[in-house]
């Protein structure tokens, strides 16, 4: 049918009346990102917080699924409801990661954390402790009831912290159960682009946050997108496909996605953000 109409085949995800027909007629459809393009599996929880799988189980599952690295991101200490990492858990987990990494020559486990954005916009842990992680996803997990101005200031301040590499599930929505908190997304996108902070598409089927319509605005503002699984056990490893689907729906190609990059480039992104590149 498309051939008869003189159009390139429009991938199903793009069929939303957002300019795809004109692009297909002009031969300018984007080469959409695919799951197999991803080198890094980011945002997962181990049994050090509320996840069901161990460090080694995550590494083996991600390597078997074709990823080249996994970014572990347990909850931070303020997320007491999720058994967040206490300060004295951190060296224990990092030693376990170092041990597991010794088994691999073609795969790497990164020591990340999903740090709570506290009520005043600061991140969980002291700066010294934060510096000990390979990368940080900063997320709001509390005080959802703030008004838009205060919530926006809170998130902007978190993005100003040089340890913030990725803003996690940016609007906090839970599909069918919790509305997004009020946030001036365009202000967030402008700051993220300015600071070199990536914004997450969270692949948890209850979240799918950032919404695909907003992803297009983020990319237009110059923001890099990170695909995060937010998986709490290796049995949920496949949710990344949903995140890739949302990325495709937002017209993303490999060029806009952070974790298509090899681990060295991913860590260079974090280092630039921290100001020592």
Q: Which stretch binds Zn ion (CB under 5 A): 25-33, 49-57, 85-93, 135-143?
A: 135-143
How many other C-beta atoms can be found within 10 angstroms of the C-beta atom of residue 81? Answer: 10
Q: Which is nearer to Zn ion, 14 or 110 (CB)?
A: 110
> What does the block give as tokens for 52?
């069901």
Pairing label, strands 164-167, 69-75: unpaired
Q: What is the DSSP string of 30-61?
A: --B--GGG--EEEEE-BTTTT-SB-HHHHHHH
Q: Which is nearer to Zn ion, 49 or 224 (CB)?
A: 49
> What does the block give as tokens for 181?
């908190």
Q: Which is nearer to Zn ion, 23 or 52 (CB)?
A: 52
78 binds Zn ion (CB under 5 A): no
Q: Which is nearer to Zn ion, 139 or 224 (CB)?
A: 139
CA distance 85 to 80: 9
Q: Say if CB 194 and CB 159 are below 8 A apart.
A: no
Q: Which stretch binds Zn ion (CB under 5 A): 80-88, 99-107, 109-117, 157-165?
A: 109-117
139 binds Zn ion (CB under 5 A): yes
Q: Which is nearer to Zn ion, 230 or 261 (CB)?
A: 230
Interface with Zn ion in residues 228-257 (CB under 5 A): 230
Q: Which is nearer to Zn ion, 251 or 266 (CB)?
A: 266
Closest distance of CB 74 from Zn ion, Å = 8
Q: What is the DSSP string of 52-94?
A: SB-HHHHHHHHHHTT-SEEEEEEEBTT-GGGTPBPTTHHHHHH
Pick the closest to residue 41 from 275, 272, 244 (CA basis): 244
For Zn ion (CB under 5 A), the number of binding residues is 3
Closest distance of CB 160 from Zn ion, Å = 20
CA distance 270 to 175: 30
CA distance 209 to 211: 5
164 binds Zn ion (CB under 5 A): no
Closest distance of CB 175 from Zn ion, Å = 15
Closest distance of CB 7 from Zn ion, Å = 40
Closest distance of CB 2 from Zn ion, Å = 39
Name the residues that contact Zn ion, by CB under 5 A.
114, 139, 230
């Amino acid at each position: 049918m498309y051939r008869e109409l003189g159009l390139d085949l429009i991938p199903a995800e793009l069929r939303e009346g957002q300019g795809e027909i004109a692009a297909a007629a002009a031969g300018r459809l984007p080469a959409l990102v695919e799951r197999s393009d991803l080198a890094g599996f980011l945002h997962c929880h181990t049994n050090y917080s509320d996840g069901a799988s161990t460090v080694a189980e995550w590494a083996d599952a991600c390597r078997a699924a074709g990823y080249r690295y996994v970014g572990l991101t347990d909850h931070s200490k303020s997320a007491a409801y999720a058994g967040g990492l206490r300060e004295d858990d951190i060296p224990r987990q990092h030693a376990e990661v170092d041990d597991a990494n010794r088994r691999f020559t073609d795969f790497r486990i990164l020591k990340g954390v999903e740090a709570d954005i506290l009520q005043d916009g600061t991140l969980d842990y002291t700066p010294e402790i934060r510096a000990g992680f390979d990368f940080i996803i900063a997320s709001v997990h509390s005080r959802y009831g703030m008004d838009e101005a205060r919530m926006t200031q809170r998130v902007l301040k978190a993005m100003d912290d040089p340890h913030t590499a990725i803003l996690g599930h940016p609007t906090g929505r839970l599909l069918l159960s919790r509305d997004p908190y009020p946030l001036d997304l365009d202000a967030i996108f402008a700051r993220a682009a300015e600071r070199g902070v990536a914004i997450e598409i969270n692949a948890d089927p209850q979240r799918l946050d950032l919404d695909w319509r907003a992803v297009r605005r983020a990319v237009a503002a110059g923001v890099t997108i990170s695909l995060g699984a937010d998986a709490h056990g290796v049995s949920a490893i496949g949710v990344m496909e949903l995140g890739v689907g949302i990325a495709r729906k937002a017209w993303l190609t490999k060029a806009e996605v952070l974790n298509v990059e090899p681990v060295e480039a991913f860590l260079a992104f974090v280092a630039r953000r921290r100001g020592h590149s």
